Chains A and B, each alone.
Chain A
Amino acid sequence: MKKTKLGSVLLSAVALALSACSTAPVEVTRVVEVTRVVEKAAAAPSAPAAPAATAAPAAPAAAVVAASGATLKKVTERGKLICGVSGLVPGFSFVDSAGKYSGLDVDVCRAVAAAVFGDGTKVEFRNLTTQQRFTALQSGDIDVLSRNTTWSLQRDTELGLNFAPVTFYDGQGMMVPKASGITKLEDLKDRTICVQKGTTTELNLADQMGVRKINYKPLSVETADDATAAYESERCDAYTTDISGLISRRSVLKKPADHVILDVVMSKEPLGPAVRHGDDQWFDIVKWSVFAMFAAEEYGVTSQNVEQLKGSTKDNETKRLLGVEGDMGKKLGLDNAFAYNIVKGVGNFGEVYDRNLGPTTPTAIPRGINSLWNKGGLMYAPPIR
């Protein structure tokens, strides 16, 4: 929170400098006005205890960027979508050897670009750190944040974010060697557990074990790599971090098959794309871009058969999805074929998942709760009508 305070101080300093330098009087007022708004937004998270402050902040952050429709206009004018990603998470966002961005988070951005432009390549990616991601979104530097961001109440309110549907349900898990015979958390009594220092994972481990009254020895290490190394050299009996992380880490162990991930989920980490408060139309566009991918998977529309289905389908739901019938796209301010473009250019959610996290990839993660609702998962799209 110190950062935000520093930020607001700097903001006012710069505002002073700017207003002093500027010669056009109209601009001066604008600068001052904007600054006041930003200060509130930036300062609010630093005082979560004050009830008055918590009620106010969301709106001003949105006011910076504006009213409904402004983002879409800005994006179409620019000719490309700017999407904030991590760029450092295997399977979710990274740059491959050919210089192309890949991953689940990246494909979500491509889907939004396909919905807006009919072309999934019209998107520019920005690598953002955990610290700068929210500022980047609030300042309008990016249009969508698709960066392994956990949906939480504080972020939804104070930080002025609107979360589109969750694209990956993650959670904290525990990996142990198969030979150890450990099957549940209780078996870890008096064992050593590797955990990354200073993370929510570390705190959550303490909480979970405390509730169950299990004694354990934490081995706190600095980075995920150190944790993996410590685990592999058997300095600890178990390794805990997000399940997606465990799975990608397991794939680089010497004998991945000798390790199991326990069937416990110690925390909820719903990850999904987010936009800033205040532009409902843009929020709808991102939301329904993701829903369109879910729906396409549900109706069996793939990038392979979408062309043919568009002409031949008799199913009314599919017709509306692909823009053959009803003005679904128009209602979002997009082309009626927006979902068709998404599926054609990027694929349905199942295809996207399999491409990035499917069984044939090095980062294979079983679908589990990330399956469609009718297959025992949580992915559910409201009716498109």
Chain B
Amino acid sequence: MNTSAALPPLTERISILRWLRQNLFRSVADGAVTVLGIVLLLSLVIPIVTWALTEARWQVVIENIRLFAIGQYPIEYVWRVWVCVLLLALICGVSWGLWLFRQRAVGAAILTAFLLLGLLPGALSIPATEKVAGFGLMLPSLAWLVAMSTLGALGYAIAARAPARARKLVGPAWILYLPVCFVLVAGLGPDGLLATVGSNLWGGLLLTLLITAVGIVASFPLGVLLALGRRSKLPVVKAFCIGYIELIRGVPLITILFMAQLILPLFLPDRVTFGPISFRPEIDRVIRAMAGVSLFSAAYMAENVRGGLQNIPRGQFEAADALGLTATQKMTLIVLPQALRMVVPILVGQFIGLFKDTSLVTIVSLLDLLGIGNTVLAQPKFIGTQREVYLFVAAIYWIFSYVMGAISRRLELPQSASRR
């Protein structure tokens, strides 16, 4: 890919004809392959497009868009989810202004994701009826889009005006974001604005993103610790880490989720009593799934991080020792920053994998994006709309995975060791 990234001489770039000849019709054989390829491509694409535009019953997606977005989340509390999205827009704006303001591609990627998120609230604010006007769908979406871009721009402006202050804010903001969001979605008390919404009502894209986010945030530190533990000289720590990593890596994610959902209740006692306190230990199912995904991902994370650790030259350790740094300082200041930078592409690859793996929670009866898709297919009105539903679900997965990939590619550039 490096060769194609390097720009060719100017003369070769300006003529389309020349480009065509160079790349597609260099010889007779090339020309034949090109023509054949185009014919094949068209014979595939034309029926698909024709189907998508004429035959496909997209009504199934339009009518169920709320289910796809948030599952059975109560409509009166939907605003809490949107506060989360708006907060994200603000923090993204600040971060963008601080770190990535020269990266147009990242901006475009983030914008795409927000565009998609922006289309959803519009659909949510209208009740699911049979007649859904296209315009009615667009208007609230636009309002949300405006709100989000305003906040994003505001964040950008803050970052541009006062980089130092913004820099102080943005770190804690990111750390606080997920817990705040979680509280917003889950609720606090029995009544009021922040009334509890049971996790059995979370669903669709909301649940998928929540499990992914928690999975990433929880598995990353755990993975780093396990990687360090595996290289530790303390035999017990080392044995435990190796045992954990190898055990988890030897078991499919489905098995772990299955155990967490169906087998765990068998081991919990019926009732736990500590003096006056007595309760029935029932761990929330979504939490169980999140724990399963995080614990699973951490084992793989550990191996990836270990790859980075092993690539740190010995000299770095020795230099740190020579400077008189303590073991903790050596790790946090010298070794880990370099090791983690080296494995950014692998880690993001793993995060994308984790994002897609969350679809496995359907088999433990959580209605994530794919699970909702499956149950929508059972609506009597929409029997036989598999293609539409699965295409839609796949498109959403693709957009999010692509955005993650695009951001990571940009992250790699300034951080790669060679550019430092």
Contacts and interface: CB of A to CB of B under 8 A. Distances in A.
Contact of B380 (A31, A100, A248): A248
Interface in A124-157: 124-129, 132, 135-136, 139-141
A78 interface: yes
Interface in B350-375: 362-365, 367, 371-372, 374-375
A53 B395 CA distance: 50
A91 interface: yes
Main secondary structure of the interface of A (DSSP, over half): mixed
A14 interface: yes
B265 A141 contact: yes
Given A87-B375, A99-B67, A132 B380 contact: no
Contacts of B363: 129, 132
Contact of A132 (B64, B203, B262, B383): B262
Interface string B46-90: 000000000000000001101100011100000000000000000
A215 interface: no
A351 B282 CA distance: 36
A252 B384 contact: yes
B262 to A, nearest CB: 5
Contact of B378 (A78, A94, A97, A225): A94
B326 to A, nearest CB: 31
Given A94-B375, A225-B386, A363 B380 contact: yes
Contacts of B280: 74, 77-78
Nearest to B258: A132
A7 B263 contact: yes
B265 A139 contact: yes
Interface string A86-102: 11111101111111100
Given A10-B263, A74-B280, A139-B263, A95 B376 contact: yes
Contacts of B415: none
A18 B269 CA distance: 12
A97 B367 CA distance: 14
A135 B381 CA distance: 32
Nearest to B272: A27
A200 interface: no
B266 A97 contact: no
Given A77-B280, A127-B375, A225 B384 contact: yes
A91 B383 CA distance: 11
Contact of A141 (B198, B262, B375, B383): B262
B372 A14 contact: no
Contacts of A77: 280
A98 B267 contact: no
B128 interface: yes
B340 to A, nearest CB: 30
20 contacts: A11-B263, A30-B269, A31-B267, A78-B280, A84-B365, A90-B383, A94-B378, A95-B378, A95-B379, A97-B63, A97-B379, A99-B67, A124-B198, A127-B371, A127-B375, A136-B261, A141-B261, A141-B262, A249-B383, A362-B381
Closest 6 CB pairs of A and B: A94-B378, A362-B380, A99-B72, A97-B128, A126-B365, A127-B365
Given A88-B375, A95-B67, 16 more contacts: A7-B263, A10-B263, A14-B259, A35-B267, A64-B266, A90-B383, A94-B378, A95-B378, A95-B379, A97-B64, A99-B66, A99-B71, A126-B200, A141-B261, A248-B383, A362-B380
